[in-house]
Amino acid sequence: MQKNYVFRGLLYVNKNGMRCFNSSSTYKITLIIVLFILGFIAMIASVCLGTMSFSVKESLHGIFVNDDSAARLIIWNVRLPRTLSGGLVGICLALSGCILQGVMRNHLASPSTIGVTSGASFVGYLTLVAFPGYYHLLPIGSITGGFFTTLGIYLLAYNKGVSPVKIILSGMAVSTVFSAFNDMIRSFFPEKLANATGFLVGSLNGVAWKNLIMILPYALIGILLCLFVPSKMNILMLGDEMANSLGVRTESFRLFLILVSSLLAGAAISVAGLINFVGLIVPHIARLLVGSDYKYLLPASIALGYMLIIICDLIGRIVLPVGEISVSVVLSFVGAPFFLCLLRNKEAK
């Protein structure tokens, strides 16, 4: 029987194995609301702070009054779109990771660990090279790439149920191949990729309104589709046979989930490029906080994904006196140790 890693929520079970106060639904809902409020605060901080800091009042002025002030220029043209896109990217990656971990029945799955992001960026690159003038085709390319990569990995690892080890291994292999292709494309066609900087380096630097608008429809569709998921997902977690006999058509539902997660990951990648670890860490933190019921897990992931990217991007912007560290670098510094801790703490149950 396949073992999943056991993740016990913080203070989740008492000695007798009884549920504690913090597993009640009121607690979970409150916690999720708190997370959203914190996310909002992070957003305000991200808009106000930077190489040139503004007060909240100045920032609001910059957002709502169209004049020539420095606040308007910096906040409206740079920080607000950057913050909003960052948040959206975070949401997409977190949801995508959450869903993939369920589909693959593997807590180490995420868009980056199973190679979806590299597959998506490969097709993204191809799109940029083949249709240089059509920047708006990028998300479609990434989403298609993400979908076929996920599907491919799933089929490779599928043999009467999905083996967790096989998924990670085939994901790594696929990821390596696509990265190699990506490097090749990058060195052969540097001029054609010039205006897609964020896509290349995994950064939110230079993200503007047009980028946000470009991915908004895909991201929204993906997020809306997630509303259909939670209760069915909980049933799927009981195993295919059980889910089947409870009336879930597991194969088509899996395909649907893979589609949704590629939509989300593809949309995120086409703005922010290869951002690792969000899709992996966020579902785990969310699970620690609210447990593995998808009804709470998905909203908590939304709030956390949003917050994590905004905060990491903010740190990257303000930590150096001159210049900035890209969000993917900050995330790697935070994420890699976390990932190692996960591996270390996995409890063979």
Residue numbers at the binding site for another protein (CB under 8 A): 1-2, 4, 6-9, 12-13, 16-19, 23, 231, 234-235, 237-242, 244-249, 291-293, 349
- 4 or 163: CB nearest another protein: 4
Residue 130 neighbours by CB under 8 Å, 6+ apart:
none
As measured in angstroms, the least distance from the Cβ of 249 to another protein is 6
DSSP 77: I
- 237 or 334: CB nearest another protein: 237
- 248 or 278: CB nearest another protein: 248
- 187 or 245: CB nearest another protein: 245
As measured in angstroms, the least distance from the Cβ of 12 to another protein is 6
Task: Report d(CA 346, CA 349) in Å as an integer.
Answer: 9
Dump the DSSP string for 224-258: HHHTTSHHHHHHHTT-HHHHHHTT--HHHHHHHHH
As measured in angstroms, the least distance from the Cβ of 239 to another protein is 6
3-state class (DSSP) for residue 328: helix
315: buried, middle or exposed (CB in 10 Å: 19+, 13-18, 0-12)? middle
> Which single residue is written with the structure tokens 């029945």?
105
As measured in angstroms, the least distance from the Cβ of 307 to another protein is 23
Q: Give the Cβ contact number of residue 140 at 10 Å.
A: 17
- 59 or 292: CB nearest another protein: 292
As measured in angstroms, the least distance from the Cβ of 107 to another protein is 10
Residue 133 neighbours by CB under 8 Å, 6+ apart:
none
Q: Give the Cβ contact number of residue 22 at 10 Å.
A: 17
